[in-house]
Amino acid sequence: MNKDKFLQTGLLEQYVLGLTDEEETAVVKQYADTFPEVQSEIDQMREALDQYAKQYAVMPPEELKSRVMHGVEQADQQSDADAGAPGPARSGSNWMGAVFLAVLIGASLFLYRGKAAAERDLASLENRYIVFQEECERQKAALQQEQQVFATLTHEATVPVRLQATGLQANAEAVAYLNGLEKVAYINAGLLPELPTGKTYQLWADVEGEMINMGVLQQQNKGLQAVSYIDHAESLNITIEPEGGSAKPTVEQLVANGEV
Amino acid sequence: MAAKLNEDKLVRRLQAKDKSAVEEIYDSYAPSLYGIALHIVKSEAIAQDVVQETFIKVWKNAAAYDTKKGTLFTWLLNITRNGAIDKTRSAAFRRRRQAVPVDEHLKNNHQLSTAQNTDQIGLRSFVDQLEDKYREIIELAYFQGYTQQEIAEHLQLPVGTVKSRVRIGLRELRKIFSEPGLTHLLIAAFCLSVWWFVV
């Protein structure tokens, strides 16, 4: 068939519209290769179809470009693994999604563990802080007390009273400090000999022949101990009494005394 | 000619695995390709998939493209068209196509396109210059991937009539797009739209 006759068959038009079967396609390609006019006809028809198609142009959503570029990027990474046809476009993002989810779960677990550990540490630190704070308060109170005692002892109105052993018990000695201005009294009972259990030392003030209780002495307290201040005391006396102290002194058990 | 040279350069960059070439191709042709995909599959989500798959194929198969065998756009268009037609051949699409009569189907196509006309870059009026009987055949063959036999069955026409309409339809199409006034008309339309945007 000559080329002019071939151009009249309508096979070219069917070819550009994709309507020819394999055999017909081969024939068209053969003519196109042989006759440049045939190829030119094909090009022109294709150009017309391109123009026709372009009239349906619609602006794609802006995010499509980044999706496309991402897809290309992914295809590049996978190209070695599967050189065949690309899978569904979504598979890339699904795969990414799965990885992302796994990373997210991993990160969550990691952070949760971190948080639990941090909470434990915080609780422990809080406890230690409370202990330190209490200790600090205690130290502060003790210091205040010491300062107060020191202030009293160095006060010009403070009078020391040395209590001597009566002979009933060896080395039964103590020193008391009386301040009539501030009405406070201290005694250092740490020097007194140790008593058997069930017994205690008690301090008395002699006011015009009457013994007035100044308090039970704590033997384990090695420093100064505050006791009641009694006005107009002529002398201070220490007796041994049953544990808890007595309302009246056991005069037979007077172990030390001293004039004020 | 200059355009052809630029296109050759672009293709060489693409074949040299230069990703910026993909971006340039996207910027130039995405609206046309997306519009075609949308026209065929009638779903924005699926059309986007088609465009993405098109560019992945373009990237992977760049080496197979021969500039002597047709323009870059023709190549891109064919990949998009085939990708979109493949989508319509899925079971879901087939059911839908069978449920809707062809006339209705074409009318719907047209409505969809018209609805999106505000975004369209092309000038649809040229399509309307083509007589309906030719346009429906080009639509079914080119955009829906029907065989001549299928077109004949759908339009209830003898295959011979389909063949002659294919021939005349394409001749008409060439006439529309090769009219000497077309270029001037396109320039005028472009100027008009620029003027409209500026003012």
Q: Residue B186: what pLDDT?
A: 59
Which chain B residues are closer than 8 Å to A39 by Cβ?
Answer: none
**Is the Cβ pair A59, B71 closer than 8 Å?**
no
pLDDT for B109 equals 47
Residues lower than pLDDT 50 in chain B: 101-122
Answer yes or no: do B77 and B153 share one domain.
no
Q: Which residue is closest to B24 within chain A, CA to CA? A: A65
Which CATH number belongs to the domain containing residue B179 in this structure? Answer: 1.10.10.10
Instruction: Tell me which residue in A49, A55, A65 faces B142 most closely, judged by beta carbons.
Output: A49
Whether B58 and B93 map to the same domain: the answer is yes
Q: Number of structural domains, chain B? A: 2
Between the alpha carbon of residue A199 and those of residues A1, A211, A214, A221, A248, the distances in Å are 143, 19, 17, 16, 15
Identify which of A246, B156, A197 has the alpha carbon closest to the alpha carbon of residue A237. Answer: A246
Per the domain annotation, does B112 fall within a domain?
A: no
Q: Based on the fold, state whether residues B66 and B128 are members of the same structural domain.
A: no
Count of CB pairs separated by less than 8 Å, A with B? 161
Q: Which two tokens stand for residue A207?
A: 């006011």
The beta-carbon neighbor of A52 closest among B121, B167, B173 is B173
Task: Look up the CATH number of the domain holding residue B25.
Answer: 1.10.1740.10
Q: How confident is the model at residue A75 (pLDDT cuts 50, 70, 90)?
A: confident
Query: Is the same domain home to B91 and B151?
Result: no
Residue range(s) defining the domain that contains residue B46: 1-99
Q: Does the pLDDT value for residue A211 go beyond 50?
A: yes
Rounded to a whole number of angstroms, the distance from the CA of B58 to the nearest CA of chain A is: 9
Instruction: Please check whether residues B3 and B63 belong to one and the same domain.
Output: yes
The reply to whether B67 touches chain A by the CB within 8 Å rule is no
Q: Look at B166 and A13 and tell me if their CB atoms are within 8 Å.
A: yes
- Give residue A209's region: left, alpha or beta (phi > 0; psi -120 to 50): left
| Structural tokens at position B7 | 């296109």
Q: Is residue B2 part of a domain?
A: yes
Looking at the domain assignment, is residue A48 inside a domain? Answer: yes
CB within 8 Å: A14 and B166 = yes
CA A94/CA A78 separation, integer angstroms: 14
Residue that finishes a domain, picked among B68, B99, B130:
B99
- The 3-state DSSP class for residue A143 equals helix
Examine the fold and report which residue of B71, B99, B127 is the final residue of a domain before the chain moves on. Answer: B99
**Residue for token pair 């046309």:** B32
Which of A45, A50, A55, A73 should we substitute to test contact with B (largest number of B Cβ atoms within 10 Å)?
A: A55
- Return all residues near A222 (Cβ < 8 A) that are at least 6 apart: A190
Reported ipTM: the value is 0.74
Q: Is the pLDDT confidence value at A172 over 60? A: yes
What residue in A sits closest to B160 (Cα-Cα)?
A10
Cα separations in angstroms, A122 against A117, A119, A125, A178: 8, 5, 5, 50
